Amino acid sequence: MTLQFVWFILFVVIIAGYLILDGFDIGVGILHLFVAKTDEERRVNLNSIGPIWDGNEVWLVLGGGVLFAAFPPVYASLFSGFYVAMMLVLLVLILRTVAIEFRSKRQGRWRTIWDFVFFLSSLLIAVLLGVAFGNIMTGVVLDADGNISMSLFQLLRPFPLLMGVTTVFMLATHGAIYLAMKTEGAIHDRVRRLTPPLMAIFFVLNTIIVLLTGFFRQPIIESYLDRLWPVLFPALALVAVVVAWFMLRRGRDMLAFVASGAMIALLLFSAAAGLYPNLLISSVDPAYNLTIFNSSSEPNTLTVMLIIALIGMPFVLLYTAGVYYFFRGKVRLDPTSY
């Protein structure tokens, strides 16, 4: 019981880590064509995430790994049921990586094409992530054997699509604040002009999602009314958004970035608290829901994994912190940059 809860918390924290970290470099990709106009500016844009984007993506692998080892039935249902969507996620993840690496290899049109690929794949990752979260929030056609029977187009329902668009604006805002921190000159001014409207649109969309959830997602509301204290998460997320807004206006980019990261984590915690103890909700029959209790690995597995995680995680945190520290400050281009 306790072990399952610990792994649920760890899983949520890892996904939050992924959204905060890869979130801003996806955001930088979404903004790529709009804030960076010249070749030099686009290089600055790429190099702002150059040393760190791949380390950030490791958190997604980590999340998948935790799901696979700690809650295998959820992993199986999710990855089999969302097969085509997952393949598309892989496709855009690969294309984005290739765009970052290949862009600087040649001059001219080559770069324009990869700039576009970088933008489009970043945008699609955000949309697909949002759609996936939307479907998890809404529930899926999950039968007694844990099989999901939904085609790709059935996943693209209005609410998940709205989540997709909201995620785009959330990550674009997050990425913009990061760019404000890492750049100077024309690109910096453009980012600063763009951030308030991005943030405002995100805020409106997110409010709509909260309201829709409040009116239509009975189980989530009941879960909140049952325990009440998780209301702290959305409340603190609101505080974080306000802090980010004012820090940005005062030019305290670093603090704004921290606040924006905290807001993303808190929004995810809010959703997780509403779903708890479910990991995957069945729209067929609540009895088919996959919860952290009916779909976890054996206690032995969870204990061994916990020991490994406790040894491994400090290293991950250490090298992550190290890379950010070494590459702190504004981006400077040199002959070895992208």
Partner 1 sequence: MLSVSAWYLLRKRYVREARANLAVALPVFTIMSLLQLFVFGPGSAVNVTEYQPQKLAAMEGIWETETCAPMTIVGWTSSANQTTTGIRIPCMLSFLAYQDFQAPVTGLMAFSPEEIPPVGLTFQSYHLMINLGVMFVGLGLVATLYYFWGRKLFETRWLLWLLVASIFLAIASTISGWWTAEFGRQPWIVWELLRTADAVSPGLSTGEVMFSVAMFVALYGLLFFLFIYLLNEKIQHGPDPLEAVEVAHVSSLPDSFREVFRRPRAGA
Q: Which residues bind partner 1 (CB under 8 A)?
A: 76, 79-81, 83-84, 87, 91, 94-95, 98, 102, 105-106, 145, 147-149, 184, 326, 328-330, 334-336
What tokens were used for 227? 């325990």
DSSP secondary structure, 158-182, as one string: HHHHHHHHHHHHHHHHHHHHHHHHH
Q: Which of 84, 200 has the CB closer to partner 1?
A: 84
Long-range contacts, 288-292 (Cβ 8 Å, 24+): 288/142, 288/143, 288/144, 288/146, 289/142, 290/71, 290/73, 290/74, 290/77, 290/142, 290/146, 292/4, 292/5, 292/7, 292/8, 292/71
Q: How far is the CB of 5 from partner 1 (least distance, A)?
A: 29
Q: Which of 108, 335 has the CB closer to partner 1?
A: 335
The answer to whether 281 and 275 are in contact (CB under 8 A) is yes
Q: Which of 226, 334 has the CB closer to partner 1?
A: 334
Q: How far is the CB of 105 from partner 1 (least distance, A)?
A: 5
The answer to whether 101 and 337 are in contact (CB under 8 A) is no
Q: How far is the CB of 14 from partner 1 (least distance, A)?
A: 24
Q: Which of 94, 211 has the CB closer to partner 1?
A: 94
Q: How far is the CB of 118 from partner 1 (least distance, A)?
A: 15
Q: Which of 95, 162 has the CB closer to partner 1?
A: 95
Question: In Å, how far from its chain's centre is CA 109?
Answer: 31
Q: How far is the CB of 337 from partner 1 (least distance, A)?
A: 8
Which of 146, 9, 142 lies closest to 72 in space, CA to CA?
146
Q: How far is the CB of 338 from partner 1 (least distance, A)?
A: 12
Q: How far is the CB of 83 from partner 1 (least distance, A)?
A: 5
Q: Which of 108, 329 has the CB closer to partner 1?
A: 329
What tokens were used for 220? 């989530």
Q: Which of 37, 330 has the CB closer to partner 1?
A: 330
Strands (E) in the chain, as ranges, are 278-280, 290-291
Report how far residue 81's alpha carbon sits from residue 79's, in angstroms, rounded to the nearest whole number. Answer: 6
Q: Which of 97, 223 has the CB closer to partner 1?
A: 97
Alpha carbon separation from 269 to 10, 67, 204, 277 (Å, rounded): 12, 17, 20, 13
Q: How far is the CB of 327 from partner 1 (least distance, A)?
A: 9
- The β-bridge relationship of strands 290-291 and 278-280 is antiparallel
The answer to whether 241 and 200 are in contact (CB under 8 A) is no
What tokens were used for 88? 């598309």
